């Protein structure tokens, strides 16, 4: 298990240092802002919805390693998924980081955040991008705050 934990930490570090899809897309049609006042994490998430499918997504902002890595992995994981699949994954991810999940089946790379459940204050960092995604899917008029 300790080898796995080291691997997970390396993946999180890699994504926080070189976040994927960290850009301002030209043709997004949904966006939302998220803020986690506990840690100071801020992100803006941009989606290109094609009917019910997330054709593209990207983000900008600044935050701690966990929030940046989480946003980066979210954008990687959800490209091409339907909005229903995205909502379902959010539920599973939330269970994972709050320690309610029985396993990491079907979470793929998102499993790297399993250690977050041991640090309750970090749960909001890990879920910020997901709350922001939900807001973007629902219209995104109001910025979301984890508080």
- From CA 32, how far away is CA 47, in angstroms rounded? 9
Helix H, strand E, coil C: the string for 69-105 is HHHHHHHHHHCCCEHHHHHHHHHHHHHHHCCCCCCCC
In whole angstroms, how close is the CB of 114 to Zn ion at the nearest point? 17
What are the angstrom distances between the C-alpha of 118 and each of 12, 32, 72, 98?
16, 29, 21, 8
Q: Among residue numbers 92 through 131, which ones bind Zn ion (CB under 5 A)? A: 125
Measured from the CB atom, the residue of 66 and 137 that comes closer to Zn ion is 66
Give the list of residues 6+ apart from residue 122 with CB closer than 8 angstroms, or none.
Answer: 66, 97, 116
Maximum separation of any 2 CA atoms in the chain, in Å: 43
In whole angstroms, how close is the CB of 109 to Zn ion at the nearest point? 19
In whole angstroms, how close is the CB of 66 to Zn ion at the nearest point? 5
Measured from the CB atom, the residue of 54 and 116 that comes closer to Zn ion is 116
Measured from the CB atom, the residue of 107 and 128 that comes closer to Zn ion is 128
Measured from the CB atom, the residue of 41 and 56 that comes closer to Zn ion is 41
- Contact string 25-64 vs Zn ion (x = CB under 5 A): --------------x-x----------------------x
What residues make contact with Zn ion under the rule CB under 5 A?
Answer: 39, 41, 64, 67, 125
């Amino acid at each position: 298990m300790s080898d796995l934990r080291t691997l997970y930490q390396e993946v999180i570090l890699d994504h926080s240092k070189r976040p994927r899809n960290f850009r301002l897309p030209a043709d997004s049609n949904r966006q939302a802002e998220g803020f986690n006042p506990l840690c100071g994490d801020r992100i803006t998430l941009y989606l290109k919805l094609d009917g019910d499918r997330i054709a593209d997504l990207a983000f900008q902002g600044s935050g701690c390693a966990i929030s940046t890595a989480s946003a980066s992995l979210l954008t990687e994981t959800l490209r091409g998924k339907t909005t229903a699949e995205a909502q379902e994954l959010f539920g599973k991810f939330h269970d994972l980081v709050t320690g309610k999940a029985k396993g990491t089946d079907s979470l793929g790379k998102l499993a790297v955040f399993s250690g977050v459940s041991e640090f309750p204050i970090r749960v909001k960092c890990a879920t910020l991008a997901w709350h922001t995604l939900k807001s973007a899917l629902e219209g995104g008029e109001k910025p979301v705050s984890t508080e």
